[in-house]
Structure 1
Amino acid sequence: MGRWVAEGTKVADENYRHFLTDKELTMDVIKIMAGQINGIKDKMKLMVIQKAMRRGQMKLLRLLEELDKKGEQMYMITFPFQLYDLMNIMKEEGVYLDMGRSNSVIITGGGWKIHEGMKISPSEMASMVKEYFGIEEENYRDVYGMSEMNGLALECEARYKHIPPWIYPMVLDENYEPLEYGEEGRFAFLDPAANSYPGFIITGDKAKLLESCPECGREGVVIDGEITRMRGAEAKGCGNLMRELMVESMR
C-alpha cells in the first residue's frame, strides 16, 4: 500500500504535497504501536506516542481548515482508523468543513488492524465524511491492497471493491480448498505481475467474492461486504507502520 501511495504523490508538485512526517521509522516504536508492549517502560513510551499522534492530528486539522478557506481541492490518502480519529477530534473541536465545493476526495486503505474494536461500516464512514468534511459520499472511497499484491481493489460507488483484472482472486476454506462465489473464507490470490517472489499469496483476511458487481455494471470480480481478519491472524501491515510515521514527526 505504501508503495502505491508513494507513487501517487509524485503526480502533484511538491508545493502541493503535505505529509505528516518524513521521519525514519524505528522498530522499537513500530513494535509498541503494533500492540507488543512489555513492561512499564513500553507503557510510558506508548503514552508519549499517543500524545504525539494527537498533536499530529491537530496539525493536520489546521492545514485542512486553511485549504477549505482557500477553496482548494484536496486529495487525502489515509488509513481508516486515522480518519476516524481525526473526525472525532473535529467533533470535539466543533470543526465542520465544506470541502465538497472544491470536489475534494478522501481515500482510505490499509484496514483497521488492532483497532478492530472501534471499526465502523463503510457507509457509516462515508456519512461521517459528509458531515465533517462536507464531501459527498461518492467522493469517499476505500481501497484494499497489500505489499504483496501489484494492484489495488478500489471501491465503486456501491461500495464493492473491484479487483484488478490481472489478479486471480479466490477464497479458501479451513482446509485451504477453494470456495464458490458468495461464500466467505480466507482471501488468496495469484499475481502474475510479481517478479521478485512467487506471486501465490494466502492472506490473513476473511472476505467474500462475487463474479461481478451487482450494482455498477463494471466487469470483473469484486469483494462483497467488509473485509475482516481471520481468527488468530497477526495485526500487522502498512496500517501499523503508518502510525509510526505519524508519531515520529510530532515529537
Structure 2
Amino acid sequence: MSSMDPIRNLIASLPVIDLVNAGFGGISSVGRVTNNPVWELVGRPDIWTMKQTKLKELQLKAIKYAFKHHYDNCDFYRNYCKDSGDVRPEDIHSIEDIINKIPQIPAEAFKKGVISSVPKNRINTVVTTSGTSGSVSYLVRDFGSLIRLGMIIVNYIANPGATQVLKEQKRFEGNLSKIVKYALTNFYVAPLLPEPNEASTWFTSAFKSLIPFMKMFGIPYDFHLKGFEFNPEKILEEIKEQSKKNKMVFLVGFHYVYNELMKYMDEVGETLELDPDGSNLCFTITAGGWKKLSGEAIDKKAFEKKLVDHFGVYEPYIVDAYGFGESNTIAIDFCPEGNMHLSPGVMAVTRDPKTLEVQDYGDAGLISVWDPTMLSFPSFVISDDIVKLSKPFECDGCGVITQTIEFVGRAEKAELRSCGLKTEQILNDENKKALEIVRAKTLRSGIGF
C-alpha cells in the first residue's frame, strides 16, 4: 500500500466536487469583495456554463483590471499604448472598447526582449515558445498566473468533464460521488514530459499548474522524460506496473512523443490494453501539433486510431488540447460533437493576417486574445496561429457555453513584420538586457518547440 492511499481514501469519502466548487466560489467572492475581478471571474464554479451576458460582464471587469495592472507596471506596454493612440485604462468602458482600443502585442514582440508586469522576485517560471521565424520567446509566469490556469482546467474536469463521463458510464448510476470516489482511488497521471524544472514549453507549464491540485488530492504522477531521457522500454514497464494498482491512467504528452513510443512498440511487437471500452476511465491527452511529427504529416483520426491500437484506449477519451505560450488560453475537445471548446477565461477574436482587422466569426485568421488571467505580462496578444472561431453558443453535446476553435495553420513570417518592427522600436535596452539574462538562465527546452 502506498503511503498516500489512506489520504486518497479519506478524500474520496468526502463530497469532493461540492467542496471544490465551494472553494472556487469562495475565491470568486473574495475577488468580488476585494475588487479583484480576475479572481472573481476565474473562481466562478459555473465559468464553463455561464450565460454570455454574465460572462461578458465579468470579462469586461477582469480585462479592465488587467489592463490597468499592465499599464501601471510594465514600461514597455505603457509606451506601446501611448504609441497606439495614447490609450489609457480610463478609456475602457465596454466590450467594444476592449476590441477597438486596448492594444494587442504581436507574438513576435516577446522574441525581442523580456516583457514583464511583475517584480523579478515574483517570477515562478519561464515558458519558451518558437514562432514562425524560429527564434525563441521567453515568457515569464508568476505563481498566481499558473494557479489561475490550473483552476480553469480543474473546473472543467470537475464540472462539465465529470458530468459528461457520468452520462456515458451507466455503472455509476448517475451518481457523481461514485465517479469521484472511483477516480480518486484509481487515478494515476503519466506525463510523457520532462519535469517542469527541466523544460519550458506551454504544455509543460499548463501541466505544472495542475501539480498543486494533484498533491492536494494525493494523486500519484511520474514524469517519464526526466532529464530528457527517452527510454521507451522503461516507460511502458512503468505504465503497465502502475495500471495494475491504478486503473484510471491519464497519459499526457506531445503527439510526436506518443509517435516515437508507438514506433518502438511496433519494433518489439508490443501493445497495451489499458481501457478498450472506457470503463477504467483512462484518458489520453495530446497536444503540440499533431499535423507534423518529425516532418511526417498525419491525419488526426489516423493518429487517434494508432493510439487506440497501440495502447488499448477508448477513442472518445482521447482528448486534444490547444494553447500557446503567450497566454493562458486553453482549448479542449472532449465533446461528443467533436468541438474544441475555448476557455471562457479569455476573450478572443480573429484578425485578417494582412490587414489585422477584426474578422467575422468563422473566418480563418490570426487568433487574438485579451487574457486577464495572466498578470505576469500583458497577455493581450496577436498570435501567429491561424484559426477559425465560432460565436459563443451552448453545445448540445457537452453543455458548455463557449466559443469553439479550429486550428488551421501558422502565419507566414511576413504577415506580422510591420507589428514586429513597431514593437522592436519601442523595446528599450533594459528589456533586451533582461532577455539575455533570462535566456542564459532558462533550461534547455527542445521538447515541445
TM over 0.5: yes
**Residue of 201, 223, 240 corresponding to 2:405:** 223
Q: Is the 8 A contact 2:340 2:404 kept in 1?
A: yes
Q: Deviations over 1:138-170 (max 9, x none)?
A: 111011112322242111333322111121111
Q: 1:147/1:206 Cα in 2 relative to 1: closer, same or farther (>3 Å)?
A: same
* 1:1-251 matched pairs, under 5 angstroms: 1-12=203-214, 16-23=220-227, 53=230, 56-68=231-243, 72-100=247-275, 102-111=280-289, 115=293, 117-157=295-335, 158-173=337-352, 174-211=354-391, 212=393, 216=397, 218-224=400-406, 226-232=407-413, 241=445, 243=447
| Aligned mates of 2:294, 2:363 — CA distance in 1 | 22
Letter in 2 for 1:92: E
RMSD: 3.0
Letter in 2 for 1:165: P
| Aligned mates of 1:127, 1:84 — CA distance in 2 | 12
Question: Tell me, what secondary structure is at the counterpart of 1:169?
Answer: strand
1:43 — aligned with what? Answer: none
Larger radius of gyration: 2
Matched residue count: 209
Q: CA deviation at 1:93?
A: 1.8
Q: Is the 8 A contact 2:347 2:369 kept in 1?
A: yes
Question: Which structure's residues are more often helix, by fraction?
Answer: 2
TM-score (norm 2): 0.42
Q: Deviations over 1:157-204 (max 9, x none)?
A: 333221111211111112111121111111111112222222211112
Gapped regions of structure 1 (runs ≥ 5): 26-51, 234-239, 245-251
Q: Is the 8 A contact 1:122 1:159 kept in 2?
A: no
TM-score (norm 1): 0.71
Q: 1:108/1:242 Cα in 2 relative to 1: closer, same or farther (>3 Å)?
A: farther
Gapped regions of structure 2 (runs ≥ 5): 1-202, 415-443
| Aligned mates of 2:322, 2:308 — CA distance in 1 | 21
Question: Tell me, what secondary structure is at the counterpart of 1:135?
Answer: coil
- Runs of 4+ aligned residues of structure 1 deviating over 6 Å after TM superposition are none
Q: 1:213/1:127 Cα in 2 relative to 1: closer, same or farther (>3 Å)?
A: farther
